[in-house]
Structure formats: C-alpha cells, structure tokens
Structure 1
C-alpha cells in the first residue's frame, strides 16, 4: 500500500468515525491529484475539438497567406466556445497577466513557438512580442520570488 493509500485509508476510517478534520485531511491529499486528472481530461477534450475544427477548415486555411495564424484563431475560438480552458485557467499565476501577455507566454513557453511565429500568429510586431513577453515573465517571477 502506498503512502497516499495509507493516508486516505486513515482519513476515511477517521471520517467514518465522525472526525470532521479527517475529511479536510483527505481533501488535502486528493486535491492536487484530482486537479491534475481533470485538467488533463479537459485538455484532451479541447485538443480533440480543436483538431476537428482545424480539419474542417483545412480547405479555407490552404487559401490563407498565414495559415498558422488562422489555425490558432480557430483553436482559440473552439476552446472559448467549449469552455474547456475556464477550469484550468481560473487559477494559477498566468491569470494575473493581461490576455495578450498570457497568450504570448503560452505560445512561446508552452507551445514552443519562435518569436516570429508568435508574432505572426497574433498579428503583432516581433518587438511587441518581445516586450510583452519580458514584462510578463518579470511579473511571473515577482509572484514566485
């Protein structure tokens, strides 16, 4: 039996005996695992929906000068309509950033896009992307420091 199993077993027995504090202890153990599980499922669902939307839009995207920009626009629209991101984005350090800064940090650090690609996706000058990214990272660093 793992340490987590033992903690949950102990908390469950105490809760069954009427100890209200044990319920809180069980939630403390479970919370990070439940959040990770739910985030992963929401991300999978959002990715599936977004891929389907992009696949449906491929003929139109083929005619665009900047298809990557259009693909990200489709993905953002699908995610916003589906509400998949709201639970994951409702908390955490990125929420303190302005929406454009959050998008730049996500595209650069999570999606791994280059500065020029990020600028193309968002329709911004490269210099603006660099400045907003710099300020966003300073803000995030200040939160953790």
Structure 2
C-alpha cells in the first residue's frame, strides 16, 4: 500500500465513522488530482457539456458517498480513480476539448485507447505503474510495456 493509499485509507475510515475533519482532509487531498483528471478528459470549456470543475465536484461527491467501501479497500487510490472515471464517463460521455495542448491531444488521439489512458494516468495524472494497473485492470508489467511503446510512438510521430 502506497503512502497516499495509507493516508486515504485512514481518512476514509475516520470519515465513514463520522469524523467531519477527516472528510475535509480527504477532499482537500483529492481535489487537485480529481480536477487534473477531469480537465484532462473533459476540458474546461462550456461548449457541448459541463465544465471539468463541475464534473470534478460531482466526482468528489460520488467519492464521499463511497467512503465505507474506500475504508475497506486495500487500494483506495484505485477505487477513487474508478469512481471518478465512472462519473466522468457518465457526466460527460463525449470527449470535449481538454486542457492538453492541441498538438499533444492530436498525438494522443492516434494512440489506441489503452495506451492513451496509460499515458494520461502515468504522465499527466502522475499515478504509479501499480495504481495505473489497478485502475485499468492490467498487470503492472503490461502497463510498463504499453507506456514504453506509447512514448516511443509519440516520440517518433512528433519528430
């Protein structure tokens, strides 16, 4: 269990038991990561859908509703990303313009969906290979291979 997993696990257990300060601490810890995730996938434009920050707020509410399951989880970071990704998919089914620069978005668009998600989770969101594997349901070795191949493809395409 990573340091963030341990922190989230203890905060979720306290929050599930009714500790309002633990809820605040947990949401404060998660907010930057959830916003970054939503901005990368949804964008911050109002065109054709809701703003990423609004989706991030909804995602954090979904996380708050799942505090008991987070408290029981061995990997709460994975669970948080699953909850947030479901919220993003449900709240914003069409991919809008993201906060990723257009040149990068064009390059990422050419990757297959798994490779794109690995790059986004590992490089943009900063997840570990272990947590990325858990979020995507892949073996850690496969995540590393996909990341290596995707980055090699991006370098070759960009050159």
TM-score per shorter chain, which class?
Answer: 0.5 to 0.7
More helix, by proportion? 1
Q: Is the 8 A contact 1:53 1:78 kept in 2?
A: yes
User: Deviation string for 1:46-82 (max 9, x for gaps)?
Assistant: 2112111111111122122322222111111100111
Q: 1:93 aligns with which of 94, 102, 107?
A: 107
User: Contact (CA 8 Å) 1:108, 1:114: kept in 2 or not?
Assistant: yes
1:40 is paired with a residue of what secondary structure? Answer: coil
Other-structure match for 1:129:
143
After TM superposition, the score normalised by the length of structure 1 is: 0.64
- Taking the aligned partners of 1:96 and 1:106, their CA distance within structure 2 comes to 14
- Which of 1 and 2 has greater Rg? 1
Matched residue count: 108
**Runs of 4+ with deviation above 3 angstroms:** none
Identify unmatched segments of 5+ residues in structure 1: 1-37
Name stretches of at least 5 consecutive residues in structure 2 with no aligned partner.
1-41, 46-50, 99-104
Distance change >3 Å, CA 123–CA 39, structure 1 → 2? closer
Q: Kindly state the Cα deviation for residue 101 of structure 1 after the two structures are TM-superposed.
A: 1.1
Tell me which of 131, 142, 145 is aligned to 1:117: 131
Q: Which has the higher contact order (CA 8 A, sep 6+)?
A: 2
Q: Please list, as runs of the form range in 1=range in 2, the aligned pairs for 1:1-145 lying within 5 A after superposition.
A: 39-41=43-45, 42-83=51-92, 86-88=95-97, 92-145=106-159
Structure 2 CA distance for aligned equivalents of residues 53 and 113 of structure 1: 20
- The change in CA–CA distance for 1:109 and 1:43 in structure 2 (over 3 A counts) is same
Q: TM-score, normalised by structure 2?
A: 0.59
